Amino acid sequence: MEGKRVAVGWAARDPRGVLSPYTFTLREMGPKDVMLRVLYCGLDHTDVHQMRNEIHLTIYPIVPGHEVVGEVMEMGKEVEGRFKIGDIVGVGCIVGSCGECACCKSNREQYCSKMVFTYNGIDVDGRPTTGGFASTMIVNHRFVVKIPKKLAPEQAAPLLCAGVTAYSPLKHFCRNEDNKNGGVKVGILGLGGVGHVGVLIAKAMGHHVTVISSSNKKKEEALQHLGADAYLVSTGTKEMDEAVASLDFILDTIPALHSINSYLSLLKPDGKILLVGVSPQDLQVNSSALILGRKTITGSFIGSIADTQEVLYFWEEKELKSMVEVVKMDYVNKAVERMEKNDVRYRFVLDVHGSHLS
Ligand SMILES: [Zn+2]
Ligand SMILES: [Zn+2]
């Protein structure tokens, strides 16, 4: 450990996925790198899937966290001018890509075959990357975005994964030129971390927004606080029947196995389901539900670095406000438990710096 920078974080050490304090060394700073002191980090379902090895690729110990807001502490020679010491910056889900392929050259680096995840990826020194549940990170500046001045850092954290996950497909698929006959009708399926920012973003884009949820529990909040236009309970047969063929798009944010056939019936002909929540098991599709109406099931993975920067400025410009619950690091295992019961409005954000890890 001699001469190396030490970071203090929280790691899971086996598939039980329980997090506990963990000290490790960081890689060397390169000329293109930024070192940041982590201030806040969001918690999402992918973190839990990874901590428990539910995607079967986890390297233990694993230090999760990919909605990272930090402060620039140091930077490499080639980064000077882009950032200053003390700038508030963000890191999302990826920290590397080849930089040369067609995806990398067209602002789609999240689809590069050599893309490197922020944690549990392979870093330039051959060791696993470590995320924002830690005091410090070293990241190539290409994957670091600026946090606009008007955004509170804890507010910005969920935008770096959840926010761009909703923003990128809404921007890509739900085009304004389609905005005829009373506007684009967008359904948001699942009102969690991604869903709640999805409602705010789709509304700010000018669309008509229906929240689709399994119970009435979040109805008042969706309509009154998030500004949704309609609320549909997916278990209510009569409501679902009445809503058949009423939507142009459904942003499906459910990060678990679920049946999508009943949601396909909610789409108008040529409608699309945009999958953004990763289910560890395969989904089943009724082929006639797609064929009768020329419907599409498609997917979208986070967004590009350019989209990530864009959603932050969009948020600032539209004066949006995410709903977060800020907790200290030693609450993280309890936060995971509560998130799994949907007992959070709507995103846990860890106050990493305020938890005095080191
Ligand atoms: Zn590439
Ligand atoms: Zn995420």
> For residue 160, which ligand has an atom nearest its CA?
2
* CATH 3.90.180.10 domain extents, the chain: 6-161+303-355
- pLDDT digit string, tens, across residues 208-258: 999 999 999 999 999 999 999 999 999 988 999 999 999 999 999 998 889
Task: Tell me the CA–centroid distance for residue 314 and ligand 2, in Å.
Answer: 19
User: Ligand 1 centre from 23 Cα, in Å?
Assistant: 32
Q: In angstroms, what is the span from residue 33 Cα to ligand 1's centroid? A: 18
Looking at all shown ligands, the one closest to residue 142's CA atom is 1
Please report which ligand is nearest the Cα atom of 157. Answer: 2
CA distances in angstroms from 85 to 5, 76, 121, 154, 228, listed in the order given: 18, 11, 27, 20, 40
pLDDT at 255: 86
Percent of the chain with pLDDT over 70: 97
Task: Compute, in angstroms, the gap from residue 294 CA to the centroid of ligand 1.
Answer: 33
Q: Which fold has domain 6-161+303-355?
A: Quinone Oxidoreductase; Chain A, domain 1 (3.90.180)
Q: How far is the CA of 58 from the centre of ligand 2 (A)?
A: 16
Q: How far is the CA of 164 from the centre of ligand 2 (A)?
A: 10
pLDDT digits (tens, 9 = 90+) for 254-271: 988 899 999 999 999 999
Residue 105 alpha carbon to ligand 1 centre in Å: 7
Ligand 2 (ion): residues with CB under 5 Å are: 44, 46, 161
pLDDT digits (tens, 9 = 90+) for 268-325: 999 999 999 988 889 999 999 999 999 999 999 999 999 999 999 999 999 999 899 9
Q: Please give the full DSSP string across 302-322, using - where no structure is assigned.
A: S--HHHHHHHHHHHHHTT---
For the CA of 104, the nearest ligand: 1
pLDDT band at 50 (very low <50, low <70, confident <90, very high): very high
Q: Provide mean pLDDT across the span 152-178.
A: 91
CB 157 within 8 Å of CB 151: no
The whole-angstrom separation of Cα 103 and Cα 96 is: 13
The answer to whether 163 touches 303, Cβ cutoff 8 Å, is no
Per-residue model confidence (pLDDT) at position 182:
66
Q: What is the mean predicted confidence (pLDDT) over 91-114? A: 97
What gap in Å lies between CA 176 and CA 184, rounded to an integer?
Answer: 8
For residue 95, how far is its CA from the centre of ligand 1 (angstroms)?
12
CATH code for the structural domain at 164-299: 3.40.50.720
Strands 136-140 and 145-146 come out as unpaired
Q: Residue 308: nearest ligand to its CA?
A: 2
Whole-number Å distance, alpha carbon 57 to ligand 1 midpoint, is 21
Q: Identify which ligand lies nearest to the alpha carbon of 113.
A: 1
- Tell me the C-alpha distance between 299 and 295, whole Å: 13
Average pLDDT over residues 119-145: 97
DSSP state of 255: -
Distance from the CA of 1 to the center of ligand 2, in angstroms? 31
Ligand that comes closest to the CA of residue 106 = 1
**Which run of H or E residues covers position 33?**
strand 33-43
Domain with CATH 3.40.50.720 in the chain: 164-299
- Mean pLDDT (the chain, rounded): 94
**Backbone φ, ψ for residue 309 (5° rounding):** -65, -40
Q: Which ligand is nearest to the Cα of residue 194, counting in written order?
A: 2
- What pLDDT does residue 261 have? 94
Longest dimension (CA), the chain: 67
**pLDDT of amino acid 4:** 86
Ligand nearest to the Cα of 50, by number: 2
The H or E element spanning position 23 is: strand 19-25
Q: Which ligand is nearest to the CA of 255?
A: 2
Residue 342: which pLDDT band, with cuts at 50, 70 and 90?
confident
45 alpha carbon, closest ligand: 2
Ligand number nearest CA of 193 is: 2
The pLDDT of residue 178: 55
State the average pLDDT over residues 123-151.
97
Look at residue 1 in the predicted model and tell me its pLDDT: 53
135 Cα–ligand 2 center, Å: 19
Mutual orientation of helices 193-204 and 162-173 as an angle, nearest 10°? 40
pLDDT of residue 55: 84
Mean pLDDT of 186-205: 95
